């Protein structure tokens, strides 16, 4: 009887492994298609999508050169704007939401509870519902530059960040902060010298998620920024068009590959922190 139970459990694990392997392959296929077609001549991208770039199909690194030199807008400039927006937005989200979450978790009032539930509720509001109003508001408040659009990202990224931070702060013993207060620490010093070091797992997790979101975001920059002057990498890729709207798919795939490689490397290097941070922020408390 025991042997049959063990055998059945082993069979279920094998079946589950096969199913997950198939799902993983399905998820990897689009990335594989991008890699293959980035080294392929444009004429063969549509006709032989999954064929290896060999012989006359191969374009070498011409697609990468063509994509970076296409048009009159430098690709390096787009990379710079993407880096600036991503880093500033992530820093602003981490700083403001961690402080707000600490206050919400420690001050038990109706106002704090209302703010918390509003932040959580914002996670389920589709961006499409507010994008036109947001575009007009950003223009009126002059938030339409790479140095001010992080304020807009702060509004959209605050919901998830506060949700995770509040859950983790509630798990921190209050006695630690009381001891710091007895030693003469004020609220600001207590937060930065006591609370922030303990928030490190969740901060890393939130930071990784926000970086991946902002770096790949297309819709918000294209609605808010002046795209003739400021173009992020996704906007730059969208403008790889020739006469009559023809698109150089080979060059497009090359730039897509260049844009996703840093994110993939960053994610693979930090994925263990994502798991730790999500578990710490969403399960505890």
Taking only the tens place, the pLDDT of each residue in 121-177 is: 888 888 888 888 888 888 888 888 999 999 999 988 888 899 989 988 888 888 888
- pLDDT in the model for residue 103: 92
Q: Which residues are CB-neighbours of 246 under 8 A, at least 6 positions away?
A: none
User: What average pLDDT does the segment 242-247 reach?
Assistant: 62
53 shares a domain with 149: no
- Of 11, 30, 64, the position where a domain reaches its end is 64
139 shares a domain with 197: yes
Q: For 169-226, how does the pLDDT look when each residue is reduced to its tens digit (9 = 90+)?
A: 888 888 888 888 888 888 888 888 888 888 888 888 888 889 989 998 998 999 899 8
pLDDT of 85 over the 80 cut: yes
256 shares a domain with 186: yes
209 shares a domain with 112: yes
List residues bridging with 58 in a β-sheet: 40
141 shares a domain with 266: yes
pLDDT of 94 over the 90 cut: yes
56 shares a domain with 135: no
80 shares a domain with 60: no
User: What average pLDDT does the segment 55-59 reach?
Assistant: 81
- pLDDT in the model for residue 242: 57
Model confidence at 227, pLDDT cuts 50, 70, 90, reads: confident
User: Minimal CA–CA distance to 224: which of 161, 158, 132, 159?
Assistant: 132
158 shares a domain with 34: no
- pLDDT in the model for residue 96: 93
104 shares a domain with 60: no
Q: What are the Cα distances from residue 222, in Å, to 73, 93, 256?
A: 16, 21, 17
pTM, entire model: 0.84
Percent of the chain with pLDDT over 70: 90
Local structure of residue 245 (DSSP, 8 states): G
- pLDDT in the model for residue 237: 86
Model confidence at 284, pLDDT cuts 50, 70, 90, reads: very low
- pLDDT in the model for residue 271: 73
Show the domain range for 25. 2-64
CA–CA dist 99, 206 (Å, integer):
14
CA–CA dist 236, 132 (Å, integer):
22
pLDDT of 274 over the 80 cut: no
Q: Average pLDDT, whole number, for the chain?
A: 84
For the chain, what is the domain count?
2
Sign of torsion over alpha carbons 150, 155, 161, 162? positive
- pLDDT in the model for residue 37: 86
């Amino acid at each position: 009887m025991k042997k049959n139970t063990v055998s059945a459990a082993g069979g279920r694990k094998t079946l589950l492994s096969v199913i997950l392997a198939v799902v993983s392959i399905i998820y990897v296929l689009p990335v594989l298609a991008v890699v293959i077609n980035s080294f392929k001549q444009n004429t063969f991208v549509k006709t032989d999508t999954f064929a290896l770039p060999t012989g006359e199909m191969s374009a070498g690194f011409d697609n990468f050169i063509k994509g970076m030199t296409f048009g009159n807008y430098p690709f390096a400039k787009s990379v710079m704007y993407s880096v600036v927006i991503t880093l500033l937005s992530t820093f602003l989200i981490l700083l403001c939401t961690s402080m707000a979450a600490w206050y919400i978790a420690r001050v038990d009032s109706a106002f704090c509870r209302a703010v918390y539930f509003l932040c959580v509720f914002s996670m389920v509001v589709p961006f499409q519902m507010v994008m036109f109003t947001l575009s007009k508001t950003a223009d009126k408040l002059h938030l339409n530059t790479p140095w001010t659009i992080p304020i807009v990202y702060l509004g959209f990224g605050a919901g998830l960040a506060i949700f995770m931070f509040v859950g983790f702060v509630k798990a921190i013993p209050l006695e630690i902060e009381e001891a710091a207060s007895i030693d003469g620490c004020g609220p600001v010093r207590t937060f930065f010298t006591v609370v922030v070091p303990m928030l490190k797992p969740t901060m890393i997790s939130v930071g990784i998620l926000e970086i991946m979101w902002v770096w790949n975001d297309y819709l918000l920059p294209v609605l808010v920024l002046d795209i003739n002057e400021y173009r992020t990498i996704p906007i730059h890729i969208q403008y790889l068009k020739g006469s009559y709207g023809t698109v150089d798919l080979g060059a497009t795939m090359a730039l897509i590959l260049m844009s996703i490689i840093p994110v993939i490397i960053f994610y693979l290097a930090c994925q263990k922190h994502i798991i730790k941070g999500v578990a710490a922020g969403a399960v505890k408390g």
